[in-house]
Amino acid sequence: MSHTYNVAVAGASGYAGGEVLRLLLQHPDVTIGALTAASSAGSRLVEHQPHLVALHDRVIEPTTAETLAGHDVVFLGLPHGESGKVAAALGPDTLVIDCGADHRLENADDWVAYYGSDHAGTWPYGLPELFTGATKQREALGAVKRIAVPGCNVTAVTLGLQPAIAADLAESTDIVAVLANGYSGAGKAAKPHLLASEGLGAAVPYAVGGTHRHIPEIAQNLRHAGAGEVALSFTPTLVPMSRGILATATARLRPGVDLAAVRQTYAAAYDAEPFVHLLPEGVWPSTASTLGSNHALVQVAVDEKVGRLVTVTAIDNLVKGTAGGAIQSMNLALGLPETTGLPTEGVAP
């Protein structure tokens, strides 16, 4: 007999919270309970998420432990530094899934260096496809009660590089990643540089020169995949699209590694994965092909002239990069089929 889980979403008025709700509405094993937020508390959800017709009349409540208590699952789509305080007030029987950064990093010094506040502690990491020695991270997510969802950029770069790192085909001490990012990754806050008048027709880099907060998280994942020291140059760029990440990540190849060996390694790594797809040779990922989908599309090439592996990965930053990955991890923690309620096909054009 099937069980229905009562799910609350904190941060329901934001992009991450809205995408969690969109996907939960398609999930056969959940009912949606409390919807909470901070400044938008007291307003109706339709004012913030007009595309979620089934929830138009729901009123957003304040984000408090009392409001969130009693649910089977609580998703936290809160600003960095806020999730730890809310989660600490929730009981150990509640499955809490943090879509923010508070519980992703294992090294407290990394947190302090990149986020500038006290570390809230480390939770099981919600990237089922992550290589962790001889297994993958999904093995660690069964029956857990706390899950930290990866950063969206982290998911794209990790999925692009980890098979080569794990198989020792490429060096981890000379990695360069350049990303094209949709504006939804910057959140809903009204900031001048996020206005359409500023962003349309422009490509703008940000967090340049080793300052982006996802750098230590990517390095952490690659170490789980088998890397020793990790040296990563990481440059994200805002481009005029609402959703999507196109991550081009390169690394120096070991001597003698050719494209056939690379493709064989990636095929072995991902052929059985429901949401990571190695494209046929010569076909390149497009963010448009991932819109609305929990898929990651991956392609690889070898630049023989400079001896480098080139990987290109496309994801929808709000689905596989955040809400879809969160629900995928929820399914594993609840003992449900991993793909339940998650879209595998994109929207085109």
Q: Which residues are catalytic?
A: 152
Query: Which DSSP symbol is given to 320?
Result: I
Residue 297 to residue 306: CA distance in whole angstroms: 25
Q: At what angle do helices 15-24 and 324-334 cross, to 10 degrees?
A: 50
Specify whether the CB–CB gap between 23 and 324 falls below 8 A.
Answer: yes
Residue 83 to residue 76: CA distance in whole angstroms: 6
If you write DSSP's letter for every residue of 256-272 in order, what string do you get? T--HHHHHHHHHHHHTT
Residue 189 to residue 234: CA distance in whole angstroms: 24
Q: Where are the alpha helices (DSSP H) in 228-340?
A: 259-270, 324-334
Specify whether the CB–CB gap between 86 and 76 falls below 8 A.
Answer: yes
Residue 266 to residue 170: CA distance in whole angstroms: 13
Alpha carbons within 13 A on the beta-carbon side of 254: 12
